[in-house]
Amino acid sequence: MISKWDWLLKQFSRTLWVRALLYSLLAIVTALVAIWIDPYIPADFGGRIGADAVDQILDIMASSMLAVTTFSLTVMVSAYSAATSSVTPRATRLLMQDTTTQNVLSTFLGAFLFSLVGIVGLNAGAYGDGGRVLLFVVSLAMILIVALTLLRWISHLTHFGRVGNTTERVEKAAHSALEYWVEHPCLGANPLTDLSVIPDTAQTLPAWKVAYVEHIDTQKLSESACEWGLKVYVLAAPGSFVNPSTPLAKIEGSLTDEQRGILQGAFSLDAERSFDQDPRYGMCVLAEIASRALSPAMNDPGTAIDVLSRSVRILSCWEQHADGRSDARHKRAGKEGKPLCENVWMPPLDPQDVFNDFFTPIARDGAGMIEVQVRLQKVLSHLAELQPDTLGEAARDHARLALERAMQVLDLETDRRNLTDLSNRLFPPR
């Protein structure tokens, strides 16, 4: 399980400016190293490289890198705008975390700063003969790196920000989040399937602002609960919208104000939902992509069908979280057969909630398109066959609801009859 600080560090490392700052510092240090090791380079090597030759190379690199960096930023912003308008604004965060784009921009910026520092050093007379040799060699290496990066950038731009590329990123994020839940059912805590087990005397752990729950450090909750003799019943799972009157959790046991603050620190709240611990958010974003594609303005049922197909890959890894069998894996990982976070309880991931988030909007917006409805019935059938114990009931319910919606909208009697026959064949009446 990922602690709060590890998660924050991971979020921090995904930002563009952090990577650009690291590359820039590396470039500046590289340019300054030539000054420091100048005395250790034999003098006969220095006479072979004139100051003018290095200066011209650095001038060309500085001017070109500034132009290329500005162009790349413009392209990046255009890709973000295109994804926002044609896909969904919720997917823009994933595009901003694209490592290739960040590495390209950081390399261009680093090359520019390297050239700038080198020009300043040459004009100030900071480089001796040996320093110029090293600066010349590093400049040639930098030109090679920039050329390869530029080629990689050109290849990346052929699909960056496109509908298919953005949809694939959302799919990977949703699949990763669900896999995390599979590997750590209830985030390592005990499944809270019945709220009646929470004693009436349990104290409320409130939220401190209006926001979404992004991350929960269940390991910290467990360690604190074991140390203080508490039982923590988490009510606001990642993705929940909370306010100061909403309980994040119920605490059984005596709790001081200081302890309450420490327990609240295990919850990370923000204005937007995060993909990491929230599989439902990824499914919601995918549903948004499909719904936008089905709108009259877009009229792109192919994208909706593609999204439906992707849902099978995502949900096929589902495992049961609600019963004792579901938690066998993480119970074995704990001590003495107990869950990893033995004093913490959390609601399991409900298939009905996930299906409501994903299939209901698509069934509603695609009710009048026979090709979408056919694929919807087949996808639900695949999920019921792959996970009959966990997803079978939810798949059957949503197949029935989707059929009812389609019957209300489809005009052609042949379409209605064929769709009904298909649904009855895939989901025989009980």
Structural domains present in the chain: 4-161 (no CATH), 170-175+276-338+347-426 (no CATH), 180-270 (3.90.1170.30)
Residue with tokens 């590997």: 183
pLDDT at 425: 94
Structure confidence at residue 100 (pLDDT): 92
For residue 321, the model assigns a pLDDT of 43
Q: What is the Cα 381 distance to its own chain's centre?
A: 28
Residue type, 203: Q
pLDDT of residue 20: 92
Residue 1 half-sphere exposure, CB side, CA atoms within 13 Å? 25
Per-residue model confidence (pLDDT) at position 337: 47
Q: What is the model's pLDDT at position 240?
A: 94
Q: What is the pLDDT of residue 334?
A: 47
Name the stretches of the chain with pLDDT < 70.
1, 38, 40-52, 319-340
d(CA 81, CA 88): 10
* pLDDT at residue 37 in the model: 78
Cα 188-194-196 angle, rounded to 5 deg = 125
SS3 29: helix
What is the reported pLDDT for 215? 93
pTM of the model: 0.87
- Residue 281 makes CB contacts below 8 A (sequence gap 6+) with 174, 177, 239, 273, 274, 275
pLDDT of residue 45: 56
The predicted structure's pLDDT at residue 333? 45
Scored b (16 or more CB within 10 A) or e, 131-169 reads: bbbbbbebbeebeeebeebeeebeebbeebbbbebbbeb
**What is the reported pLDDT for 387?**
87
Q: What is the pLDDT of residue 339?
A: 57
For 303-343, how does the pLDDT look when each residue is reduced to its tens digit (9 = 90+)? 999 999 999 999 988 864 434 344 444 444 444 445 567 88
Dist. CA 267–CA 269, nearest whole Å: 6
Please state, in angstroms and as integers, the Cα–Cα distance from residue 368 to each residue in 361, 376, 379, 408, following that order. Answer: 13, 12, 18, 9
